[in-house]
Structure 1
Amino acid sequence: MFGKTAIAVGFIVVSASTAKAHDEQALANAPAGDPYVKVSDVLPLPEFIPGLGTLFVDPATLPAGPFLAYDRDGRLSATVYMTPLDDLQNGTSFDGLKIGSHTVSSTDIYLNAGHPGVDKPHAHVVLFHDETAKERLAE
C-alpha cells in the first residue's frame, strides 16, 4: 500500500519537472496575481506557515495545487503539491501540474495528517527553487 503511494508521488515529481510553467517572471514575487488567492485569506491558517511560507493557490487546482510558497520577503521559494493519499491509492493521477519556476534545487516529500483546505491525509511534495529556499521558509 505505501509502495504504491510512493510510486504515485514519484510520478508527480517527474511530471512536475516537465509540466508547463506559469509565467515565471509574474510569479517571482508575491502577491501572485489572478487566479491565485492567498490561502490565509480564505482558510483559517496563519499568513506564514513555518516550513511552507506564505501560500497562494488557484482554487480550481485544489486539492493538489500547485501552492506557490513565498518567503517573508515575498520571494517565490517553492512550489508545493498536496495530494490526498486516498486519491492516489484509488488510482487518481495528478497530471500536468504547473510549477512556479523551472529552477528546482531540491525536493521534499512528507506525510501530512490533514489541515484546513486539505482535510484528508495527504503527501506534501515541495519543490524548492534555490539553495537557500528551505532555510528562508523555515523562519
Structure 2
Amino acid sequence: MLRNTVFAFGFIVAAAPAAKAHDEQALANAPAGDPYVKVSDVLPLPEFIPGLGTLFVDPATLPAGPFLAYDRDGRLSATIYMTPLDDLQSGTSFDGLNIGSHTVSSTDIYYNAGHPGVDKPHAHVVLFHDENAKDRLAE
C-alpha cells in the first residue's frame, strides 16, 4: 500500500510541470461549463460529497480526470485525480492532466477501493486551491 502511495505521489510530482490549466476565470465558480458535466447528474452519487464537494468532470478524461471540486457556495476548491492502481502498476501514464487553478496550497493522496464512475481501486490525488478549501469541502 505504501509503495502504491509513493508511486502515485511520484506520478503527480512528475506530471505537475506538464499539467495544463483551463481558463481559470471560467472555472472559478460552478457550474464548470462545457465539456464538464456534474458528476451527480450522470452517476448515482450525491450532489455534494463530504471531503470532495460538488464534482464536475469532462467524460473524455475518465478515469483520471481532472474532477473539479466546488464547495457549497460554488467556489472552485480543489482539483482531483482518480488514478486506478492497476493502470499505474501496469505502466499507464496519465500525462498532461489539466488543473482547475494554478494556485495549490496543499495536496492529499489517499487510497479508494472504488465507487461509481471509477470502480477499480485507485488513488485520489487532491490539489487544494487555498488554505481553507479542505475545511469548506468537509462541510
TM surpasses 0.5: yes
Gap regions ≥5 residues in structure 1: none
For 2:41, the equivalent position in structure 1 comes to 41
For 1:57, the equivalent position in structure 2 comes to 57
Gap regions ≥5 residues in structure 2: none
Change (3 A) 1:13 1:47: farther
Separation of aligned partners in 2, 1:125 and 1:93: 14
Change (3 A) 1:74 1:4: closer
Separation of aligned partners in 2, 1:95 and 1:135: 29
Give the TM-score of the pair, scaled to structure 2.
0.95
Separation of aligned partners in 2, 1:118 and 1:99: 19
- Report if aligned partners of 1:57, 1:66 keep a CA contact under 8 Å in 2: yes
Q: Secondary structure at the match of 1:82?
A: strand
Give the TM-score of the pair, scaled to structure 1.
0.95
Separation of aligned partners in 1, 2:136 and 2:63: 25
Q: Secondary structure at the match of 2:115?
A: coil
**What value does the CA root-mean-square deviation take over the aligned residues?**
1.4
For 2:10, the equivalent position in structure 1 comes to 10
For 2:22, the equivalent position in structure 1 comes to 22
Separation of aligned partners in 1, 2:136 and 2:12: 24
- Report if aligned partners of 1:16, 1:99 keep a CA contact under 8 Å in 2: no
- Report if aligned partners of 2:82, 2:125 keep a CA contact under 8 Å in 1: yes
- Report if aligned partners of 2:114, 2:121 keep a CA contact under 8 Å in 1: yes
Counterpart of 2:30, as a letter, is A
